[in-house]
Amino acid sequence: MIVVARVSSHFAFHFADPEKLFADGLKMFDDDRFGLLGVLQSRLHEVWANATSSRFGKSLRYSTSTSFDTFPLRAKAVGALAVADAAEEYLRKRQQLLWQFNVGTTDLYGKFHDPSDDTAGIVQLRKAHAALDEAVVHAYGWDGFPTACEFVGDSGTVTSSDTLQDRVRYRWPDSVRDEALERLLELNDQRAKDDLRSGRVVTTQVERSNSERSIKATQTEALFQ
């Protein structure tokens, strides 16, 4: 089973044993494919989730109805061997570091986003995430799309109690995020049109407000295939 926290300051999907899950604050997906987890963990999906989910303070409130159901998930990407392999390697490195540093996911991602942390394991995890992004982007047919990350200060009010990790993220630059979001919106629009032509009502379409550059989701029946 794939799980993700409903509310978290970091975007992290995990595999979990459903018989050992006791937390109410989890979103759960009854699927054990590395390919699906890889697409969901990719920065492609993170861009979409940031645009379609609400926030709780500085944390993302992940919504399956607005972020998962609306995401233009491609079966080709989920089934791509390169995506599955990259996801498995990323999870392996992440778990190794959780054990090595004896920390939880939040603390590990704090190190991941810290510009001053250049320990070998953290650098390798960043590279593994980049490899996962590249595999997913390629599976979407976006060859040549820039996937290089940099340390970027997130917008928002900064208080005296904020740590460096609250203010900085190792992520795609804003221009790349905007381009990725625009392409995903086009895929979403096209899939909705295809469904209408075929008489199927199986997708969730998102509507754009050009003046506010916001995204509004309206749920229908199922996710993209």
C-beta separation of 140 from 96 below 8 A: no
C-beta separation of 134 from 41 below 8 A: no
Question: Domain for residue 67, yes or no?
Answer: yes
Q: What pLDDT digit, counting tens, does each position of 190-211 carry?
A: 877 876 777 665 555 555 443 3
Question: Domain for residue 159, yes or no?
Answer: no
| Structural domains in the chain (count) | 1
Write down the pTM of the prediction: 0.84
| pLDDT value at 161 more than 60 | no
| pLDDT value at 145 more than 80 | yes
Backbone angles phi, psi at 55, to 5 degrees: -125, 150
Give the DSSP letter string of 88-121.
HHHHHHHHHHHHHHT--HHHHHHHHT-TT---HH
Question: Domain for residue 223, yes or no?
Answer: no
Question: Domain for residue 131, yes or no?
Answer: yes
pLDDT score at 58: 76
* DSSP E strand stretches across the chain: 2-5, 7-8, 13-15, 26-29, 54-56, 59-61, 150-153, 168-171, 205-209, 214-218
Match 């049109």 to its residue by tokens: 193
| Position 59 confidence tier, pLDDT thresholds 50, 70, 90 | confident
Q: What pLDDT digit, counting tens, does each position of 162-193 carry?
A: 455 557 899 999 999 999 999 999 999 887 78
The residue range of the domain holding 6 is 2-153+164-218
Question: Domain for residue 6, yes or no?
Answer: yes
pLDDT score at 224: 38
- Return the number of other C-beta atoms located less than 10 Å from residue 208's C-beta: 15
- Return the number of other C-beta atoms located less than 10 Å from residue 213's C-beta: 10
Question: Domain for residue 204, yes or no?
Answer: yes
